[in-house]
A and B are shown apart, each in its own frame.
Chain A
Amino acid sequence: MLDIKGLRADLEDGTKILKGIDLQIAAGEVHAIMGPNGSGKSTTANVLSGKPGYQVTGGSVRLDGADLMEMEPEERAHAGLFQAFQYPVEIPGVQASTFLQSAVNAKRKAAGLDGLDALAFVRELRAKAKTLGIGNDMLKRAVNVGFSGGEKKRFETLQMALLEPRMAVLDETDSGLDIDALRVVADGVNALRSKDRSFLVITHYQRLLEYIVPDHVHILSDGRIVRSGDKSLALEVEQSGYAEFQAA
């Protein structure tokens, strides 16, 4: 499904961050990328979704065969990519539910479908929000404004549930969450696991992977994947730390 080959990316000032990433994720698989701070974890997520500020200098990324790097961020979303952000952006004045309806209908339009009317959308929204413990009061507020850390991550998960991506990238979804909030978010993610949907879970800590259990774990260090294994690799890292993977 997702095929990353030799991906290289620099910051705009020329600093090299990704130095050749190779990663293949098949349909229905959950992969985790772990690594120390500064290894290129967030850059990987940002480059996949097309965030400005990076220069892709080599390699390719294909989602279901389509070249992601040639697409605008919204086209990547239409192609089935979703990024759950580490720090979701606050957007004052934009009602959360209006934003969600715009996003869902933009994706439907791109797929050649009619937009959902308010009634049909609200019905679906309520049902999916409820399973994540998101009430109407939160949906009436402006996007992420005044949301707690846990609310922000639940709201990201709700967006994922509504947009039904092929490929979801979760960037440090565990950061800033206590154990209860982490459980709610992980349950939301696990409910979305299916044979047609893949996940790339990016995290510094092994803790999240106890709740979202990966099929494969990769260690990222200095812009490269230096080791891959199954879920036991995460535990190994938890015990020994990242030092052995870091360049001397």
Chain B
Amino acid sequence: MTDVFGADFLDRIDGAGAVQNAAAFASLRERGFPNRRVEAWRYTDLTGPLGRALAPAGLRINQEQSGLFGPIPAAEVSHRSADPDTDALSLLNASLAGEGFLFDVPEKVRLKPVFARFGPMAENALVNANNQIRLAPGAQATLIERWGNTDDSWLNSDTNIELAEGAHLTRVILVEDGGAGTQTHRTAARLAESARYDCLVVTIGGGLHRIEQHVDINAAGAHAGLAALVLKTGQEHSDFVTSVRHLAADTTSDQQVRTVVDEQATAIFQGGIHVAQDSQRIEGDQLSRALMLSDRAQAFTKPELEIFADDVKCSHGATVGDLSDEALFYLRTRGIEESRARALLVLAFAREPLAAVDLPDAVEAMLDEKLKAWLGVPGAFEELAL
């Protein structure tokens, strides 16, 4: 019992009487949390959050109108998997969470964008959110999630997505931290025929952020578009993990990840594309570019392509680099001072994943302003109406 990683942490949770799903908790006790010897966790060490005295607490949801979006009913939460092979953070979630959201869009309904904000109530909280998104055939929806943390708290969400035939979900996950908190967000999505899942992840600040997107493309004509913008500085750590499984022929996916790391920050992208044996005529693209603004910052990219079919067009590219000296000089010869010239070039780079997803104008403007604030040039470089 004491051999597993995180045993003390689990003892404290048990002692607090917070466990709601005993079977899931028993499975988690048996397997423990993944340590860095586990390949998928090579770059990310949970020792920090597991060492903290965190109190299980409820999720705070602030959401603007929509009858189709609301707290998840208990019945939807109770039958979460307790299988010991389930991901450890999902088991933690299933053990504790009684809360989360349900976003349920009926057939052929086209919704205006839904905005929702999530955060913990208290310092040193362990908050688990269990979310369910379902789009019936032909439904179209846009969901903007903002996950905000307070110092030292741990937000752990587990989101299941079911997209029926021809459904189209556009989703933004904005993960922010004022302090050195921990956020782990895991999504498992399943796409039916001609369904489309477009998701932009933006992660800013935080002690440790790990965001996982697992997408099963189950039928022809379906498409998964995953984009991410990772902005890290100080001692911040981000691990973005994707696994796109092409389980049917005639399916496509695209992954666009842009990372900016400054000071001593670390950012990792583990990008998976899996093509099953009978999945012919597949197109899967992946491009990861990282910009290092400091010699002490670190960026790692680990593309994982597993292709068992023949008729497949998969591409992946990864670059890690500094700003272009030529471009920087060009801007400076036009009188733009160096710090602003750098900000302008980083801004151009960081906007790329925003352009990869069709976002409502207000959301794009909000993200753009976040980006400028992070770069220390709020309100600068507005595009001109010509």
Which residues of A pack against B, CB within 8 Å?
49-52, 72-74, 76-78, 82-83, 85, 88-89, 91-95, 97-99, 101-103, 106-107, 110, 118, 121-122, 125-126, 136, 139-140, 142, 159, 163
Contacts and interface: CB of A to CB of B under 8 A. Distances in A.
Given A51-B329, A83-B333, A97 B386 contact: yes
Given A91-B327, A93-B348, A102-B344, A77 B384 contact: no
A98 to B, nearest CB: 5
Given A74-B335, A103-B335, A91 B330 contact: yes
A163 B335 CA distance: 9
B8 interface: no
Contacts of B352: 93
Interface string B347-360: 11101100000000
B351 A74 contact: no
Contacts of B383: 95, 97-98
B325 interface: yes
Interface in B353-386: 380-386
Contact of B330 (A85, A102, A121): A85
B31 interface: no
Given A93-B347, A118-B385, 14 more contacts: A50-B332, A52-B325, A73-B333, A74-B334, A74-B335, A74-B336, A89-B329, A91-B330, A93-B351, A94-B348, A98-B381, A118-B382, A122-B384, A163-B335
B333 A49 contact: yes
19 contacts: A50-B332, A50-B333, A74-B341, A76-B333, A77-B332, A82-B333, A85-B330, A88-B330, A91-B327, A94-B348, A97-B384, A102-B336, A106-B334, A107-B335, A110-B335, A118-B384, A118-B385, A122-B384, A140-B386
The 10 A-B pairs at the shortest CB distance, nearest first, are namely: A93-B348, A77-B335, A103-B334, A73-B332, A89-B330, A106-B335, A107-B335, A136-B386, A97-B384, A74-B332
Contact of A122 (B327, B329, B386): B386
B354 to A, nearest CB: 10
A247 to B, nearest CB: 31
B214 interface: no
B384 A94 contact: no
A110 B325 CA distance: 23
B14 interface: no
B331 interface: yes
Given A93-B348, A93-B349, A163-B334, A139 B329 contact: no
B338 interface: yes
Contacts of B349: 93
B4 interface: no
B386 A139 contact: yes
Contacts of A91: 327, 330-331, 345, 348
B332 to A, nearest CB: 4
A91 B334 CA distance: 14
B381 A102 contact: yes
Contacts of A126: 386
A72 B333 contact: no
A126 B332 CA distance: 23
Contacts of A50: 332-333
B281 interface: no
Contacts of B385: 118, 122
